[in-house]
Amino acid sequence: MEFDTSSPIWEQLVAEFSRRIVTRAWPAGGRISGVRELASELGVNPNTVQRALAEMERRGLCRSERTAGRFVTSDEQVIDEVRARLAVGAADDYVHRARGLGMSRTRARQLIEERWNHDDHIRTVARGEHGDA
């Protein structure tokens, strides 16, 4: 993971860990790796990881069990709410960039549709569902 200087690393870790939860890289109810292991994986100080995980707990995205470690929430509503917030942020970024490029609303919408369809096509090909007869 590459970090930028625009925000504290612990906040960037909260965003990354949230992304892992909503994409199911960290499944609901699943155990989260330990602080030291995550710090080593990410190349950051364990205290920074601890701060990020504490914030995740505060937001209800994970919970601690005294002797067993930390676990991703099993509350699908919480996960869906985070997914929606992340999607809104991505949409806001896209709108801001498209406007900055002087793109019309119509063209911006067309581009989203084109990219969505392209991504669907790539996934279909990757699964071997070519449709060639």
In tens, the pLDDT along 34-67 reads 999 999 999 999 999 999 999 999 999 999 998 8
pLDDT single digits (tens) 77-91: 999 999 999 999 999
> Greater confidence, 1 or 33?
33
Question: pLDDT digits over 6-29, tens only?
Answer: 999 999 999 999 999 999 999 999
CB distance 75 to 60 below 8 Å: yes
pTM for the predicted model, two decimal places:
0.79
Domain ranges of the chain: 9-74, 77-126
Q: Which fold has domain 9-74?
A: Arc Repressor Mutant, subunit A (1.10.10)
Whole-angstrom Cα distance, residue 29 to residue 38?
18
Q: Say which residue, 128 or 82, is predicted with more confidence.
A: 82
Burial group, residue 13, by CB count within 10 angstroms (0-12, 13-18, 19+): buried
Residues 40, 46, 49, 55, Cα dihedral to 10°: 160
Q: Is-contact 36 48, C-beta < 8 A?
A: no
User: Starting at the edge strand that comes first in sequence, how are the strands of the sheet with 31-32 ordered?
Assistant: 31-32, 69-72, 62-65
Neighbours of 14 (CB within 10 A): 21
